[in-house]
Amino acid sequence: MRAAYRPAIFNTGHLSMITPKNAILPVSWQQLNPQLSISEATDALAKIEEIGAGNGGFDGGALSDRFWDEGYFLIEDVLPTDVLAKLRQGIETLVANDLSPAMIYLYDEAWQVFQRLRPLLSHFLGDRIALLPHFWAWHVNPADGGRGWPPHRDYQGESAIGDDMLISLSLWVPLSNATPYNGCMYVLPRSFERRYETPVAKPEDVVLQDVRALPAGPGAVMGWRQDLYHWGSRASIHATEPRISLSLEFQNAAFDPLAEELLSLEQPPAFEKRLVLIASQFEKYRHMQDIDVKTVDWANAVLELCSGNSVG
């Protein structure tokens, strides 16, 4: 019998909700998650070992065949689970302190996860890789009917040219086991959608038998072209753990920018810039996820303080 998930009880006597004034101080976040780091110099992040540096890490040929046919890939056991465990702990601590999981991107280790995947990104996007300022982190809680994002495409425009040149790519990394019980990813493979008379415009257009669940565990990475129709499901109250995950978007920088500002994979933003970027995500994603007014007000107050400090 599967035991239902019960939220962990954190000893938060020495912690408190971080106010906007405290939020602009790196030490506040460092004290909250001492197992994670916030580097003063972003070039300190350049020393991360990339997957593929020794044993290849993935089969590029087989990966490409499936990707161009179905629009996505899933690779198991390529990321270091010890680092992912620290990030999971970090998100659980944020949530326990009434803070958004997205604040995990204040820490170096969240960016380092994707730096490790540079060979994989280069395989699909070429050597000129840029980060799009679009990212999120999830803590899908089975105890309160949590769910992932509803059916959508990450980008409504052109994501690829033909069947061999990719413009943009989304990566998704589970920090806990993501299962059908706790809200794993679901996709409509492009090989199926191509048979439809018209592209899917709304969930009712999807033939349910064409839907594919993609359970995955820590160490895995999932990626899809940004025009792939996908979503996260709702968690069952009988799930044994929350679904905790990270996502970041990338583009081939040889093409025109898909966002007003592109970021560097080699030089992720410094702390102040990270804070501004994260605080800007809440209003952007309110249509995708239930984000309470208190959180939005907190983020806006942080942005106002950063603006007053001339943080860019």
**pLDDT, tens digit (0-9, with 9 covering 90-100), for 175-206:** 999 999 999 999 999 999 999 999 999 999 99
Is 295 inside a domain boundary?
A: yes
Helices (H), the chain: 20-23, 26-32, 60-70, 81-96, 108-115, 118-125, 190-193, 271-284, 293-308
Output the 3-class SS for 230-280: EEECECCCCCCCCEEEEEEEEEECCCCCCCCCCEECCCCCCHHHHHHHHHH
Write the CATH number for 268: 2.60.120.620
* Residue 7 covered by a domain: no
**How confident is the model over 280-298, as pLDDT tens digits?**
999 889 889 888 898 999 9
Say yes or no to pLDDT of 53 above 50. Answer: no
- Is residue 62 assigned to a domain? yes
Let me know if residue 257 belongs to a domain.
yes
12 within a domain of the structure (yes/no): no
Could you give the count of Cα atoms lying within 13 Å of 165 in the half-sphere of its Cβ? 6
Is residue 82 included in any domain, yes or no? yes
In a domain, 11, yes or no: no
Q: What is the largest CA-CA distance in the chain?
A: 59
Domain count, the chain: 1
List, for residues 214-270, the tens digit of each pLDDT value: 999 999 999 999 999 999 999 999 999 999 999 999 999 999 999 999 999 988 899
CA distances from residue 124 to 32, 156, 206 in whole angstroms, order as listed: 37, 19, 27
Does the pTM exceed 0.85?
yes
Q: Residue 147 sits in which domain range?
A: 20-308
Does 201 reside within a domain? yes
